Amino acid sequence: MNKLLSIFFLPFLALASIQFDGIVNDEEWAGAEIYDLPFEIDPSYNSEAEHKTDVFIKHDEKNLYVAFKAYGNRDFIRANIRSRDGINWLDDQVAVGIDTFGDGRYYIRFAANPLGSIGDNKVDNNDNFDGSYNVEFDAKAQITDYGYEVEFQIPFTSLNFPETRTQEWKLMLSRKLYNKGLESRYLNYEKIDGAGCIICQSTDSYLIDNLVKKNKKRLIPSFTTNSVRQKNSEGNMNEEPINSEVSLGGEYEFNGNNFEFSINPDFSQVEADQSKINVNSTTALRFEERRIFFNEGKDFLSSDLSTVYTRSINNPDYAMKLYNRGEKHSYYFLDAEDNQTPIIVPGYQRSYSGLLGKSHANIFSYNYNIEKGQNIGFLATNRDFEEGGNSSLFSLKGSFLFNEIYNTRFELVTTAMDEPLSDVINTSNVSKEHTYNLDGESFDGYGGVFGINRDTQNWSTRYYFATKSPNYRSDLGFTTENDWKKHSFEHKYKYRSDGFIRKGNVEVRKDLMMDYDDVILDQETVVSARVELKNQLNINFSWDNSHKISYEGFVFNDVKDYNFGVSYSPSEKFWMRFGYDWGDSVARNIDVPEIGKRTNYSFNSSFQINDQFRLQYNFRKNSLENQTTKENYFSGYITSLKGTYQFDKDSFFKVVHEYNNFNDDSYTQALFQWQPDSATIFYFGGTVDQEDIEGTWEVEGSQIYMKLQYLFNFD
């Protein structure tokens, strides 16, 4: 009789209401699917997990609920109150990864630490984490006598899934802990090196019958205002009129299609990019995309040749995209009208950049999805310039797995350029077939990638070939140099142990890079090693010998470079990394290039004063010295100090000060931010820029800004 009652009531128990409070009560989780995490996958290789972890999963009509009971290791828990995605590096955490299509194309990873701070990522079929990806979900947690408990609430509208009667979602359940001070990771299945993407190997899934898919219906209006003061050429401070703007974004889902739009979007960044040292660089610098609108769909645009760089869409009047993630067929389309168009003209070992006027950008991508993360697809881009002309690109790419330990990928790209007429780039340098100035020339180019690797528990072998022809140019991508082809072969030995050295590897790599006249640009051998010790001390070292290197017609032999790094995290309160690079380097930004002696230092550290207040310090120094005269071609440093007070997981106040010794300038930024969900955000802050003029600091400009953006969710 009891068995009959259990069978009758089980469906109702599975749909029972969960009290979402971070307390994993046995009664409310009765009838849930139960999983465990029996394997330690790091630093050990699929050994038995020392501590028990139980996982419970249930759902109702709107949400998926996941609960973790993390047993043991209570005295070694590391956790602090952090902003969204701030838990990824130094905290204990549990996570659920969900592959709704079950073919390994990507999975969404939802994580939380023992204090309920959260993080989410999208992970592609090559196990690359996109940390800027944000969707709706929440978690609550509590530390208990036996460890800690976490409850997740994940709306179904935060997931894309097939429109089928029965859903079978592949699961990756994980736990990161500092087991007696040693960072370890547990998983619900054995992770075999070389057997495809991580979630492809999962043996666990969660089944849902008769799930009614509810379409997304969201509006995201925003209001921004800022006031700018800037010193003019006469040295007087001018205050510009207060600038205020209203924007509107939204998302609507229909028949498996997702439509997103943004009218008059505010694509400015809240926080400044970390300054990069480019004193000896002849090419443009790349910065990470962090704008919310470009979150969804970045996996469609992945490329070893950087065929798409969404930050090249700079200041649009509007932007919209349409994407569909079918069971086998997926596609993505983006359209944007840009007011200011950054352009990078790649050249032979250098690049040229400028800012054009309006342009119209289109991107289309299609993927045919195969099991275990394999796929084949194509991508096309086009940009029409107000100054005339256009740039287009077409690529065919794929990734395949053979015999469980061999993986291969390829990418074939063609480009076509009809240059606009503009004087924003002015140089007398020319390529083999055209000038670098924007003077209306037309030309075609091509590029390609082929890679194959073999990966096992102890050994990894990889061959990689890539090329960009002399006329290759991708104005919606990121290309700083062309006229090159590169072969790379590397072989690595991986070591794991229960002793003092827990994990390590030794790697040998041979690279050969030539131009299209078969002139050797770089022929190098690299030997590197890394060890992770039991006391959270990690050490790495590398030796790099460029047997032959050419730069703008000058040839140098046996250019040797050394790199040493050490990182240490003895507790949740402190983390540091020190790097020291020395050896030979080409002085590029002089009339006649020479080999100089390079010395680089870097130091990064984080001090957690208490659960809510954190200090971070960063120092980087680069110098290059003439071997004969002992004078410096350049020498300088960049240093920054950041203090963050975390009120709760949704809000913080931050002050940053950075000094750039290369330019004798600095900035100070103060910022308050509140972000209760993936798209609602309020921030208020200001920045002051200063310059050192003859030993006296003078304010060169300042800015005060505010933004309120709110998510109206009608799902």
Tens digits of residue pLDDT in 402-459? 887 899 999 999 999 999 999 999 998 888 889 999 999 999 999 999 999 999 999 9
Residue 219 has pLDDT above 90, yes or no: yes
The pLDDT-based confidence of 190 (bands split at 50, 70, 90) is very high
Residue 14 has pLDDT above 60, yes or no: no
The pLDDT-based confidence of 598 (bands split at 50, 70, 90) is very high
Distance from C-alpha of 77 to C-alpha of 92, rounded to nearest angstrom: 6
Q: How many CB atoms lie within 10 A of CB 407?
A: 24
Higher pLDDT, 293 or 138: 138
Q: How is residue 209 written in tokens? A: 């019958």
What whole-number percentage of the chain has pLDDT above 90?
72
The pLDDT-based confidence of 550 (bands split at 50, 70, 90) is very high
Distance from C-alpha of 670 to C-alpha of 657, rounded to nearest angstrom: 9
Tell me, what's the pLDDT at 9?
Answer: 42
pLDDT mean across residues, the chain: 90
Q: Shortest CA distance to 127 belongs to which of 41, 42, 200, 43? A: 200
Q: Shortest CA distance to 212 belongs to which of 140, 147, 157, 145? A: 157
**Token pair 């032999």 in the structure block, residue:** 557
383 forms bridges with which residues in the sheet? 361, 391
Tell me, what's the pLDDT at 458?
Answer: 93
Q: Shortest CA distance to 515 belongs to which of 472, 561, 546? A: 472
DSSP codes of every residue in 629-648: T--EEEEEEEEEEEEEEEEE
CA 47 to chain centre: 30
**483 and 432 Cβ atoms separated by less than 8 Å:** yes
What whole-number percentage of the chain has pLDDT above 70?
95
Query: Who's near 231: CB < 8 A, 6+ residues apart?
Result: 237, 238, 698, 699, 700, 701
How much is the average pLDDT of 51-67? 96
User: 687: which DSSP letter?
Assistant: E
Long-range CB pairs of 519-525, under 8 A, 24+ apart, other chains included: 519/550, 520/548, 520/549, 520/550, 521/349, 521/484, 521/549, 521/550, 521/551, 522/546, 522/548, 522/549, 522/550, 523/547, 523/548, 523/549, 524/549
How much is the average pLDDT of 209-238? 87
Region of poorest pLDDT, from 1-5, 381-385, 482-486, 636-640: 1-5
**346 and 481 Cβ atoms separated by less than 8 Å:** yes
Residue 492 has pLDDT above 90, yes or no: yes
Residue 521 has pLDDT above 70, yes or no: yes
Q: Edge to edge, what strands does the sheet with 33-36 contain?
A: 33-36, 53-59, 63-71, 147-155, 138-143
The pLDDT-based confidence of 276 (bands split at 50, 70, 90) is low
Residue 1 has pLDDT above 70, yes or no: no
The pLDDT-based confidence of 698 (bands split at 50, 70, 90) is confident
Higher pLDDT, 139 or 129: 139
Distance from C-alpha of 687 to C-alpha of 540, rounded to nearest angstrom: 37
Q: Shortest CA distance to 385 belongs to which of 346, 338, 317, 345? A: 338
pLDDT digits (tens, 9 = 90+) for 342-352: 999 999 998 99
Region of poorest pLDDT, from 14-23, 51-60, 180-189: 14-23
**φ, ψ dihedrals at 628, nearest 5°:** -95, -55
